[in-house]
Each structure stands twice: as structure tokens, then as C-alpha cells.
Amino acid sequence: MGCSKILSLLASFLVLLSCCNSCLGSARKLTSLYKPPQMVLKYHNGKLLEGNLPVSILWYGKFTPAQKSIVSDFFLSLNPSSKSLHSLKKTTPSVSQWWGNVQTYMKNAQKKQTHVILSKQTTDENYSMGKTVTRAQISELSQRVNSKTGTITLVLTDKDVTVEGMCMSSCGFHGSNKMKNSAFIWVGNSVTQCPGQCAWPFHQPIYGPQDKPLGAPNGDVGLDGMIINIATLLSGTVTNPFGNGYFQGTADAPLEVSSACPGVYGKGAYPGYAGNLLKDTATGGSYNAHGVNGRKYLLPALFNPSTSECSTLV
């Protein structure tokens, strides 16, 4: 091949390379300019659970007194007494500070602050509905315990109870009785059924990075996992009790205050990593919130309407 032809081909190649670099440069500039739209949990003008809010608990199965106290202390920590609140000021961050994020939504909707009151607790150790329970039966169980207006009933099932959809689609759910302006929440103890799904990060996940699980702050993988799911559903129930409150997406598959921030517990969180958390040097348990009676809890991040980001306590 002659030198002139080689030079001609080389010139053509340089022109082509210049065009490619120009295109790539434009692509890089366009990518750097692109910003994904901010998530917004829109208020759909429906009723919210405001003011004094009694919460009743149905313990379905053979829960121990120690397990019951973990959950009871969590609810007492949401709106602690003045004496408890004074002691908690020295041990921040606290459960009540986490609950303050929910109160922001109430304020923005011009509603009263929600004051959670732990009401009656009932135990069904005889499994009156059996050990395989449907969602409809969960609703029925909640009505047995409390059918009063403006309340929440929490149905908690033990590790030997299988609930419709558990592990396959959810670790819990919330529903309502619009006629009575009341709601219910179900959460199951997943420790023997699907802890990798419903008790993470206290158990290795069913998929993804298989890092060493975190220590459960109260020494009970099942119950500490339940606290995460209870907190997630409680925040969603108060701010979207009847499907027309705060959410993004469709009403039948909404992203709510906490479900909009899955797997986020501390700053720097990413899929498979819960974030930078506090650690109890005595027990090795990981946590991000202090509660009454010396309790420590790991609570999910909540979507902050002021910053349009997932807000963590640590």
C-alpha cells in the first residue's frame, strides 16, 4: 500500500476518532446534567390517625414475658413520660426523636400531633384460628380485640404460625375499618421461617452479600426483627391509614413514610449494608435509638418531607 493511501486512511481514522470522542464527551455532559426526579410523598387529603391514639396488642401464640416487654417498651418510648423523657435526653438519639419525623407529616397536613397510648393487651395461646392464618382472619382477630373508633390493633403472631403471604410477599401489613375510623397491623415472628428476609440485618440475607449479621440489640433476632417491621408499619398506618393519606405511587402498592427507605438504618447505607450504626459494647448489639427502661432499638429510616431524603438518627 502506498504512503499516500496510508496517510489518507490515517487521516480518516483521526477524523472518526475525533467524532467519537466528541459524541462520548457530549454523552458524559448529558449524564452529568441529568438529575433523577425527587421523590415526593404526596398527601391525598384523606383522614390521618391524629390526636390520642390507643394501640391494643393481640399476642397470638406463646410469647414470653421478656419478648412482650421488648414491644411494650417500644410503644412506651414513642411518647415517653416526662420522667422518662428527662432521662432520655442524656441518651440520644431516641425512639421519640424518630417518632418526631412522623409528627412532621401531621403538622404539614394541619392535623393534631399523634400521641400513642399503649392500651390493653390480650394473649391467644390456644391458637383459636389455628396455626395457618389468612389475611381475612387477621382482620377478624383484630376486631375481636378492639373495634373502637380511632384505634390501632396490633396482631403479633409467634414463630410457629404461618400467615398468608408471609415470606413470599411481606413481613407484615396494615389494613383498616373505614366505617369505624380504625386500623390494624399484623407482624409475624420470622425467626424460623424467613429470618433472612424479615429479620435482616440480624440474620444473613437470603440473597446479596453474605456479611456477618449484626447483633440484635435486645438479644432476640425474631423480636428485634419484629420491632423493625412494627415501626415501619406503624409510621405507614398513622400517615396513610385508609389509602388516601401520604404515599407515592398507586394506592394498592404505595410507597409510604418508611417503605420508601428500605434497608436504610444509618448514614452511608446501601443494599446489603444497614449503615453506620451505634454498638452496645456490653452485648455487641447494633442499634440507632434509645428507649425507656434502658432499651435499645434498630429503627428504619423515614422519608423526610423537608429534605426529600431518607432521614436516619445516626
* DSSP string computed for 254-279: EE-TTTTSTT--SBT-BTTB--B-EE
Share of the chain above pLDDT 70, in %: 84
The yes-or-no verdict on residue 236 having pLDDT over 70 is: yes
The yes-or-no verdict on residue 78 having pLDDT over 50 is: yes
Q: How far is the CA of 170 from the CAs of 135, 164, 188, in angstroms?
A: 12, 9, 10
Between 86 and 280, residue with greater pLDDT: 280
The pLDDT tens digits of the residues spanning 202-215 come to 999 887 777 899 99
The yes-or-no verdict on residue 22 having pLDDT over 80 is: no
Q: What is the pTM of this model?
A: 0.86
| Cβ contact 206:197 at 8 Å | yes
Mean pLDDT of 55-69: 97
The mean pLDDT value of the chain amounts to: 87
pLDDT for 27 equals: 38
Strands 51-60 and 286-287, how do they pair?
A: unpaired
CA 203: distance to chain centroid? 17
pLDDT for 83 equals: 60
- Angle, vertex CA 201, rays to CA 197 and CA 203, nearest 5: 65
Coil/strand/helix, residue 203: coil
The yes-or-no verdict on residue 152 having pLDDT over 70 is: yes
Q: CA 21, CA 222: separation in Å to the nearest integer?
A: 55
pLDDT for 88 equals: 63
Q: CA 173, CA 253: separation in Å to the nearest integer?
A: 12
The yes-or-no verdict on residue 123 having pLDDT over 80 is: yes
Coil/strand/helix, residue 99: helix
Nearest CA-CA partner of 258 in 232, 294, 280: 232
